[in-house]
Structure 1
Amino acid sequence: MTPLEAYNSRVASGRLRDDPYQRRIIGNLLSLHEKLVQYTPPSVRVPSIEELVPKTGISLLFQSLFRPKTETVAEPESTPQGIYLYGDVGCGKTMLMDLFYATIPLHLPKKRVHFHQFMQHLHKRSHQLKMEHNHYDLDVIPFLAAEIAQDSTILCFDEFQVTDVADAMLLRRLLTMLLSPEYGVILFATSNRAPDDLYLNGIQRVSFIPCIQQIKRQTRVIYLNSPTDYRKIPKPMSNVYHYPKPGVKWTSKTNQTKCRDHVEAWFGYFNAANPLENVLTDHTLQVWGRQLKVPRCAPPYVAQFNFEELCGSPLAAGDYLTLANSFQSFIITDIPYLSIEVRDKVRRFITFLDAVYDDHGRLAVTAAALFNDLFVEPEDLQRGNYQLYKRQQDKGSVETFEDDELVVKHGFDKLVAKKASMFANDEEKFAFARALSRLSQMSTTDWIDTVRPVHEDVAPAGARQ
């Protein structure tokens, strides 16, 4: 199928709404698809480790004196422009990328990955190469670029964003190489930011600008300005999120019994394809050579943590990506009210949620309140973090956030913008607001019923420690 045929088929079957804004972009996807049918990527050689070792001054002198004459080679064929698709949350960017990905001609190797996961792999592979060859000054970028080009002529990034100086400096050289005719990689990226807004106000941003310029040269930059937020279209709601009803205390016998029943019901549902004897306690996964403990699980179907186990210890994106890749579903219990005083835990929960969402994982929780009501001012918390003072209900005005960028530019609710103000920078505020949007989507029956297949590299219960 071409992208247009795939889109028409999904509209006809009722799987998609016919959106005129999305349909305009399908024309660009079709144009790129036609070029890919005829495209032959260049042959890319992986450099030897010796070539990557930094040269001393004497080495450089002898290299210049005795370097063999450069052979005349044909100019590499021009690489087709990729696509950089940006727009607000919920407008269908990821759906369009996935539709395009499914129609890429079979002769071209491809990879579709969440950008955060891609960066984790790059840092891990870079570290691995330096350790293998016992050389911390090794210039691994040409090696990584060649590996990627051989593996993925079409590279699809979802949620492309740059917030870290280490990521920015690595990407600057890597993408400049990959998008050059010598490597011939074609980029399809989705983002909430225009290219010129990437790494905005970041440290040493001037050094990252050449990378932005390369992206703009080698992709067709498209703004998806659909007014429809597909995450806000009413869908049947499932009861995956349990919280006490008004007037019922978290510590009450009634609520604690309902919490236990909720957890066991959803654990059983998520684990329906697995025998009960395969339920494990204190299971461990390997993450970068160290062990990650999973308190209760039935691999590869479901894992269970309480909030403190998941977010109270210094876990990082790599840990959460490993979990998302290892299990279809998650149960998180005992989520308390959250405030700025536990901002690190909130950040970790957002990172975990992003990893699970991007792998279409499922989530059931027990929490002190609805997610939209869970984030409060520290002074409103009673001891134990599961109860509020009554004045919380009458406090604060959302009107002061009506001009906030999250409201005006991205279409989030004013109450969401108010709660996001606990974070210091725009990227974290946006990540928080997006998390609330994703939690809403992940509670729908559509999401729960559309379970992704078990990853092929995930072993059944008991097969690994």
Structure 2
Amino acid sequence: MSNIIPVNNNKGPVFEYEKKLASGHLMPDRAQAVLAQKLQILLQKIETLENNSKSFTWKKRLGFKENRQIEIKGLYIYGDVGRGKSMLMDLFYSSIQIKKKRRVHFHAFLQDIHLRFNLFRKNNPEGGDPVPAVVKSIVEESKLLCFDELQVVNIVDAMILGRLFEGLLSHNVIIIATSNRPPDDLYKDGLQRERFLPFIKLLKNNLNIEYLGASKDYRLEKILGMRVYHYPLGKKATVSLDDYFLALTEGYSPSVDLIEVKGRVVIIPIAAAGVARISFAKLCGEPLGPADYLDIAGRYHTLILDDIPRMDESLKNEARRFITLIDALYENKVNLICSADVPPQELYLLGEGAFEFQRLVSRLMEMQSEEYVALPHGLI
């Protein structure tokens, strides 16, 4: 008797996708529909395997041997920004009925891995290899891992991913990932990239590679042609930012994100679907540095920043942090939507730091352009 069950579109990503079409939240898109169907098939394979594993528990006591007939490969979905990769993966994740699953931004996952490595070293001062122990801890927590925005930007991460993923896959952990880049372009031109190539081969051998082809960038459509810099401060500007957040997050429930960088925790009070919202006072009034802002820039494709004041020498520390923040956002091509007291040219009064602000004004102006908004998120 086959373990494969017929494709059932009465639940799962296809069902949820069609609900979004019917409600007008999405426009028909053939490439998205095809990918939704592939995710549907994958979901049913995983749920079938899960149900078979549960039924085998009592059979094992009677001496039966497990016969795993379903081969399950994960999925690596790549394509341009705004094509709906994360949305489709999230429809899959929210629909699948298994307990041990985890959906996480890839940058946050890497941070978690480094924390686990540090904990292992602390608990094992005599030394040892942390990878097997970390793999074991992840396997105990998750049978399914869904990674959003897989990208590799530094040599430390590049060197550990091969062994880490090899361990996870050897324990039959199913991996689904979204990325703006095809596997062969990951960590492109990075230091010692030849040592990273086995990881790319591992992905291509163990995950089905799916390209979500070029079409409309629905996220981009919501921003292009609209004001992203709102002044003066007041109810009208706040309502505009509220509307942007709702449009960009497509009804996802916001949550609080806790970002740990070098022992510090940065609190993002409102975040959903790759969009973060926070006030200037919280982001630039706190003693944060370049590492914090780069971490934020690597995690979100859009930052909504409320209540930027006009600054003078009494706010010179806040002004310096604001410059550092904008540099991090600009280098990572993060979209900035903000409310401010005055236009960019008037943000900083004469005094110490005014010259540095001229470059910032230039970047703020460029970040309002359609050309900038259309750039893919991530280090270029």
Summarize deviations over 1:235-262 as a string: whole Å, max 9, x none.
Answer: 799977434xxxxxxxxxxxxxx44x46
Map of 2:143 onto structure 1:
153
Map of 2:306 onto structure 1:
331
- In structure 1, the gaps of 5 or more residues are 44-72, 244-257, 271-284, 337-341, 375-380, 393-397, 399-412, 421-428, 434-465
Which of 90, 93, 101 is matched with 1:98 structurally? Answer: 90
Answer yes or no: is 1:348 the counterpart of 2:304.
no
SS of the residue corresponding to residue 357 of structure 2 reads: coil
Q: What is the one-letter code of the residue matched to 2:210? A: I
Identity of aligned residues (%): 29
Structure 2 CA distance for aligned equivalents of residues 388 and 287 of structure 1 = 27
Which of 93, 96, 118 is matched with 1:127 structurally? Answer: 118
Which of 19, 29, 51 is matched with 2:39 structurally? Answer: 29
SS of the residue corresponding to residue 316 of structure 1 reads: helix
Distance 1:176 1:128, change over 3 A: same
Structure 2 CA distance for aligned equivalents of residues 217 and 387 of structure 1 = 46
Deviates more, 1:227-236 or 1:216-225: 227-236
Summarize deviations over 1:190-242 as a string: whole Å, max 9, x none.
Answer: 11111111111212222222211111111110111131110233579997743
SS of the residue corresponding to residue 77 of structure 2 reads: strand
Map of 2:58 onto structure 1:
none
Answer yes or no: is 1:141 the counterpart of 2:131.
yes
Map of 1:17 onto structure 2:
27
Distance 1:141 1:432, change over 3 A: closer
Map of 1:202 onto structure 2:
190
Distance 1:24 1:330, change over 3 A: same
**Offset of residue 149 of structure 1:** 1.5
Which of 206, 221, 227 is matched with 2:215 structurally? Answer: 227
**Offset of residue 313 of structure 1:** 2.8
Q: What is the one-letter code of the residue matched to 1:121? A: D
Using the size of structure 1 for normalisation, the TM-score is 0.55
Q: What is the one-letter code of the residue matched to 1:87? A: G
Distance 1:319 1:262, change over 3 A: farther
Distance 1:191 1:235, change over 3 A: closer
Tell me the matched-pair count. 313
Calculate the aligned-residue CA RMSD, in Å: 4.8
Structure 2 CA distance for aligned equivalents of residues 160 and 14 of structure 1 = 29
Map of 2:292 onto structure 1:
316
Structure 1 CA distance for aligned equivalents of residues 67 and 323 of structure 2 = 53
Structure 2 CA distance for aligned equivalents of residues 78 and 416 of structure 1 = 46
Structure 2 CA distance for aligned equivalents of residues 97 and 153 of structure 1 = 16
User: What is the correspondence of 1:37-436 to structure 2 with a 5 Å cutoff?
Assistant: 37-40=47-50, 79-104=71-96, 106-135=97-126, 137-180=127-170, 183-234=171-222, 241-243=229-231, 258-259=232-233, 261=234, 287=260, 290=263, 303-305=279-281, 308-309=284-285, 313-316=289-292, 320=296, 331=306, 333-334=308-309, 345-349=325-329, 364-366=338-340, 369=343, 383=355, 385=357, 415-416=371-372, 431=378
SS of the residue corresponding to residue 15 of structure 1 reads: coil
Structure 1 CA distance for aligned equivalents of residues 191 and 156 of structure 2 = 10
Q: Which has the larger radius of gyration?
A: 1
Structure 1 CA distance for aligned equivalents of residues 360 and 181 of structure 2 = 37
**Offset of residue 138 of structure 1:** 2.6
Structure with bigger helix share is 2
Distance 1:313 1:156, change over 3 A: same
Using the size of structure 2 for normalisation, the TM-score is 0.65
Answer yes or no: is 1:2 the counterpart of 2:36.
no
Deviates more, 1:140-149 or 1:305-314: 305-314
Distance 1:94 1:369, change over 3 A: farther
Structure 2 CA distance for aligned equivalents of residues 385 and 262 of structure 1 = 27
SS of the residue corresponding to residue 97 of structure 1 reads: helix
